[in-house]
Homo-oligomer: A and B are copies of this chain.
Amino acid sequence: MNAITLQSTQSSKLLLTDVQTRNLHPGEVRVLIKAAALNHRDEWCRQGLYPNIQDGVVLGSDGAGVVTEIGKGVDYGLLDKEVIINPALNWGENQKVQGPNFEILGMPRNGTLAESVIVPVDRLYEKPAHMTWEEAAALPLAGLTAFRALTYQGNIQAGENLLVTGFGGGVAQFAVQFGLALGAKVSTSSSSTEKLEKAKALGVSTTFNYLDHNWISKAMEVTNGFDLIIDGAVGDTLNHLIQVAKPGGKIVFYGATLGNPSKLEARKIFWNQLKIMGTTMGSDQDFKNMVSFVNEKKIKPIIDQVFGFDKAEEAFNRMRDGKQTGKIVLVP
């Protein structure tokens, strides 16, 4: 089958090539991919910035498709079902944190950027009926991460002030949509006026361009501080977030695209009783809750652009350059 693999010898580090499929183990299913979606993780893998990178692996964590083959022990009723895949494998029983066997689909296990993917049957969820294939493929990883950040970690309540930084990225997009659906007063930030216009169109009341040096004082004027901030950048902007957090508030971050901060205002954290919390993906319970929520609220992921597999390099470069608003989707 055709698949997008990581190949360090290629100048693009990517190779669309024929990959041998294998037989199913008991409890596994084969899913014919209708659409797959990119995450920053795929780009980090391409750049070799992930631990245990292996050449030749099929990339991709997000996918939606149809069950075409089932392994021993799997219910026959699943054949031909339209599904999405939970890319978080072996989280374990602890809701607080993934266990030592945790794995994400797409490295080192072959992922979704292929004509088909093999996964354990318990990773399958019914495709939300209100979504296209592209939308369904865009949901899993970023939707899961945003939902856990907002609910299990952030415990957001209706009427609270929520700031989602970096609108445009997949997790940020879902955090904004979920936050609005949960009744929060949602603000978002970006360096792109165009992206902020798109956020306003979604119903976001307040937007901030963080290139504007006054954004912090403006944010405090408008909101009097945020109960919850969802961030994926960290770096020295963490101290700006500490300034706009309401006393007793939380900053939950799911990544650190700007790296480590070079200082931390400790006194403000303890005196204002702030919580700075890290989060990654989510448990099976989080995924189940997220899918129910998305179905109930009829939320549709925002699709930035759809590429064919032959345009994989272009798609990855768009992710690398941060040009997208919403999810970048690839179809076989």
Contact = CB atoms under 8 A, between A and B. Distances in A.
Nearest to A271: B280
Contact of A278 (B94, B238, B256, B272): B272
B270 A266 contact: no
A261 B266 CA distance: 8
Contacts of A96: 247-248, 273
Interface string A94-115: 1011100000000000000000
A260 interface: yes
A235 to B, nearest CB: 8
Interface residues of A, number: 36
A85 B80 CA distance: 70
A261 B270 CA distance: 14
Contacts of A275: 275-278
Nearest to A148: B273
12 contacts: A94-B248, A97-B247, A97-B248, A234-B264, A253-B266, A253-B270, A255-B270, A259-B266, A262-B262, A273-B277, A274-B277, A276-B276
A197 interface: no
A254 B267 CA distance: 9
A304 interface: no
Given A270-B280, A275-B276, A279-B270, A238 B260 contact: no
A102 to B, nearest CB: 10
A59 B264 CA distance: 30
A253 to B, nearest CB: 6
A269 interface: yes
A263 interface: yes
Interface of A: 94, 96-98, 153, 234-235, 238, 247-248, 253-256, 259-280
Contact of A270 (B254, B263, B274): B254
Contact of A262 (B234, B253, B263, B270): B263
B97 A272 contact: yes
A256 B263 contact: no
A265 B270 contact: no
Contacts of A268: 278
A277 B276 CA distance: 6
Contacts of A247: 96-98
B273 A280 contact: yes
A274 to B, nearest CB: 5
Given A262-B263, A264-B264, A256 B270 contact: yes
Contacts of A265: 260
B266 A263 contact: no
B273 A269 contact: no
Nearest to A153: B273
Contacts of A276: 269, 275-277
A277 B277 CA distance: 8
A248 B98 CA distance: 8
A198 to B, nearest CB: 26
Contacts of A235: 266
Contact of A261 (B97, B263, B272): B263
Given A260-B264, A266-B278, A271-B278, 16 more contacts: A96-B273, A97-B247, A235-B266, A238-B266, A253-B266, A256-B267, A256-B270, A259-B266, A260-B267, A261-B263, A269-B277, A269-B278, A270-B278, A270-B280, A274-B277, A275-B278
